[in-house]
Amino acid sequence: MPFLVPPAVSIYHIVGYDAGAVVYGLIVGTSTVAFFIRGQIQKKQELVARSPAYTTICGLANMLLGVLNLLNIANLGRFPCFLVSLCLCSHLLQPPYSHLHVAQQTFWASYLGYVPFILAFCARGARLYYTYRLNETKLAGKPLEPMLPDEMPRGAKGRFFRVYRQATQGTIDQRITWIFTATMAINSMWLIAGTFAVRRVEGQPSNAILPDISYYCDNSWPYYPLYGVLGVWLVVAMPILVFSLWNTNDAYQIRNDIFVTIFAGFPGFALYFTWRFIPAFERDYETWNQTNWPVIALLVSHFAYCILPLWRSWHIVHVPQELVDTDDFEHVLTDEHLFAEFSQFSVTDFCAENTRFIEDYQQLKLKTVETFNHIYGTGTGGLTVPLAMHDKSQAKKSKLPFRFTKRSSNNLSLVSAVGNPTLSTPTLNIFQSITGVQDVSGETRVPESLLFLYRTFYQNYIEPGSLLEVNITGKCLKTIQRKVETGDFTLDIFDEAKKEVLDSLYYNTYKKFIKKMSRRSIRPSKISKTTTKNSAKELTNDVIEMKSY
């Protein structure tokens, strides 16, 4: 039965913590639901990359922990132990219960709060690590060769494929989900075992509900796995994640969110255990409770992984299509240094397959043009007239507010066809790049000698489940599949897919790339020397705003 004589705490203590629980629940619950709707249901790209399912689990677990812990502190002894147990210490209890000295615990709240939060947090970190490494791997290998782990160079595979053999984004997600689900199943079975365990002595403080529900709680064996999970998380998982993700500079700032949780969570839980095991701190219960520390850490982490990304997803500036300048985008695609930078940036945006697609499409175009030149004997090589941006006498100066850096020259091995000044821009289709040959159109069949290359391109980028599979519409996929199955290889077989890939790069990745390069290259000290009307800060913001589409 509940305490006949409740612990002595003031009314201000009760009202304050009850109000805090309500506010905490509203903030965390509302933002978690909004994140789930925009990320998991509406599929907003800015949130989809953040693992909305695991983020939602973190949010719900966070809400459960925060609300129940705060309610516990406010309402000592009014909840049964199997649900939430409290800090029932002797100095807080009045006779005849003052002989009891039981540590604060949260049984169901712990196993349904801390464990799912920790597991979902580790799942987000693991998914970020393997997704980033997968995109790095996508840039490895030679153009127009089968992209299979068994055929890749040993250096390209590294530790990634020794752990995740034949990995794709789908297999990574499936394995992380399987590990999460299996661990949660074990956690649930342990929770049930602790709840329905039978106490040896009736009336003994316990979290079990048999033979009767107890309001006096203990600190026994049901909590040992929880302490182990918390210890592994703090001492093992956090350092491993910091070490593994230190150089993972993703475009969505997921790494930064994870680091905020780590750097806020470690001191928060360290202070929790300090307050718990040092009697001088424990006795100051009414002024400041030990559970406040992890609650604060959880709230700070929630702002980092949920509220701030949600706010940013609502405040993205979308420039009207008629105001978007495509010349600079084509300049990035055709300039070998800028495309090298762009390819590396696509790794951080988790879409390296798109830049590899464009690169190999250009290689396929080059091979096709050379083959038609050989068949029809066109003396000019069958290549189109170079773009104006490659013709220095007619070139329009790019308005990009940055230049390539020296480090970009290290990434040129994959972009020779993209930046080839004698090859047409990637926006031009293959059949449009063939000149000097009459009656060439998109319906022209691919020469027999090129069928292997076209099939390889399909297997690498279009075939479902492939390592470099690009995200195209179902209609486009079915059209290509039907042509491949019937052997109807025409010059325009991949043109629609190429258009969709370019659209994705242009509207999703390119604007982030421009924003990053603008911030990295423009410095207020340089701008202030060239203007007397605007301050350096205003001009920098103007340039970034113009380019952040």
Instruction: Identify the CATH number of the domain in which residue 35 sits.
Output: 1.20.1070
Higher model confidence: residue 12 or residue 284?
12
Position 320 scores a pLDDT of: 45
Number of domains in the chain: 2
Which range is least confidently modeled, 92-101, 201-210, 307-316, 439-448? 92-101
Position 7 scores a pLDDT of 54
Among the ranges given (9-18, 407-416, 492-501), the one the predictor scored with the smallest mean pLDDT: 407-416
Q: Cis before residue 211, ω within 30 degrees of 0?
A: yes
> Which domain-ending residue is among 314, 344, 366?
314
Q: Indicate whether 259 belongs to any domain.
A: yes
- Nearest one of 342, 367, 329 to 457, comparing CA atoms: 367
Q: Comparing 383 with 392, which gets the higher pLDDT?
A: 383
Helix, strand or coil for residue 198? Answer: strand
Instruction: Determine the Cα angle at 410 with ends 408 and 414, to 5°.
Output: 95
Q: How confident is the model at residue 280 (pLDDT cuts 50, 70, 90)?
A: low
24-62 burial string, b = 16+ CB within 10 Å, else e?
A: bbebbbebbebbbebbbeeebbbbebbbbbbbbbbbbbb
How far is 140 from 339, CA to CA, in rounded Å?
A: 15
Q: How confident is the model at residue 226 (pLDDT cuts 50, 70, 90)?
A: confident
Q: Is 2 part of a structural domain of the chain?
A: no
- Residue (of 201, 206, 203, 200) closest to 219 by Cα position: 206
Task: Yes or no: say if 264 and 32 are a contact pair by the CB < 8 Å rule.
Answer: no
Q: Is the pLDDT of residue 469 over 50?
A: yes
Six-digit token pair at 387? 């773009």
Taking alpha carbons only, the member of 68, 67, 31, 66 closest to residue 52 is 31
Write the Ramachandran bin of 118: left for phi over 0, alpha for psi from -120 to 50, otherwise beta. Answer: alpha
**Boundaries of domain holding 455:** 321-547
| pLDDT for res 503 | 92
Using alpha carbons only, how large is the chain's radius of gyration in Å?
A: 30
Share of the chain above pLDDT 70, in %: 66
* Domain co-membership, 38 together with 132: yes
Mean pLDDT of 252-264: 94
Domain presence at residue 498: yes
Residue 293 placed within a domain = yes
Q: Is the pLDDT of residue 457 over 50?
A: yes
Is 534 in the same domain as 494? yes
Higher model confidence: residue 331 or residue 220?
331
Is the predicted pLDDT of residue 533 greater than 70, yes or no?
Answer: no
**Are 456 and 332 contained in the same domain?**
yes
Which segment, 92-101, 288-297, 372-381, 524-533, is predicted with the most confidence on average? 288-297
203 pLDDT band, cuts 50/70/90, is low
**Higher pLDDT residue, 449 or 207?**
449
Residue 409 reports pLDDT greater than 70: no
Same domain for 326 and 304: no
Please check whether residues 66 and 150 belong to one and the same domain: yes
What is the reported pLDDT for 500? 95
pLDDT band at 106 (very low <50, low <70, confident <90, very high): low
Q: What is the number of other CB atoms lying within 10 angstroms of the CB of residue 375?
A: 12
Distance CA 546, CA 544 (A): 5
Is 18 in the same domain as 125? yes
Average pLDDT over residues 172-199: 88
Residue 1, domain member (yes or no): no
Better pLDDT: 336 or 58 = 58
List CB contacts of 306: < 8 A, sequence separation 6 or more.
28, 31, 32, 35, 55, 58, 59
Query: Higher-confidence residue: 316 or 338?
Result: 338
Pair 308, 407 in one domain: no
Q: Mean pLDDT throughout 316-331?
A: 62
328 pLDDT band (50/70/90 cuts)?
confident
CA atoms within 13 Å, Cβ hemisphere of 500: 15
Residue 4 scores a pLDDT above 60: no
* Most confident region among 8-17, 416-425, 438-447 by mean pLDDT: 438-447
Structure tokens at 276: 């718990």
Domain boundary (281, 314, 347) is at: 314
Lowest pLDDT segment from 365-379, 437-451, 529-543? 529-543
Mean pLDDT score, 500-527: 73
pLDDT at res. 286: 58
Average pLDDT over residues 440-459: 90
Confidence of residue 77 (pLDDT cuts 50, 70, 90): low
**pLDDT at site 10:** 76
What is the reported pLDDT for 271?
86
- 492 found inside a domain: yes
Q: Using 50, 70 and 90 to split pLDDT, how confident is the model at 314? A: confident
Split at pLDDT 50, 70, 90, the class of 34 is very high
8-state DSSP, 505: I
Mark which of 314, 334, 349 sits at the end of a domain: 314
* pLDDT given at position 216: 65
17: pLDDT strictly greater than 70: yes
Judge if 219 and 83 occupy the same domain. Answer: yes
Which amino acid is it at 252?
Y
Tell me the CA distances in angstroms from 42 to 48, 310, 352, one per residue in order: 9, 13, 24
The 10 Å Cβ neighbour count of residue 91 is 12
Copy the structure tokens of residue 127. 């998914």
Could you give the 3-state DSSP secondary structure of residue 403? coil
* Residue 373 belongs to a domain: yes
When the pLDDT of each residue in the chain is averaged and rounded to a whole number, the result is 76
Same domain, 328 and 474: yes
Asked if 82 and 199 sit in the same domain, the reply is yes
The residue that leads in pLDDT, 518 or 364, is: 364
Does residue 337 register a pLDDT over 80?
yes
> What's the burial of 182, exposed, middle or buried (CB within 10 Å: 0-12/13-18/19+)?
exposed
pLDDT of residue 82: 66
> CA 433, 437, 438, 440: dihedral to nearest 10 degrees?
-40
pTM: 0.79
Q: What is the mean pLDDT of residues 455-467?
A: 91
Share of the chain above pLDDT 90, in %: 37
Band of pLDDT at residue 224, cut at 50, 70 and 90: confident
Does one domain contain both 127 and 87?
A: yes
**Does residue 3 belong to any structural domain of this protein?**
no
Residue 258 and residue 284 in one domain: yes
Instruction: Round to whole Å and give the CA distance between 307 and 155.
Output: 40
* Residue range 479-488: mean pLDDT, rounded: 93
Separation between Cα atoms, residue 19 and residue 15, nearest integer Å: 6
Asked if residues 132 and 158 have their Cβ atoms less than 8 Å apart, the reply is no
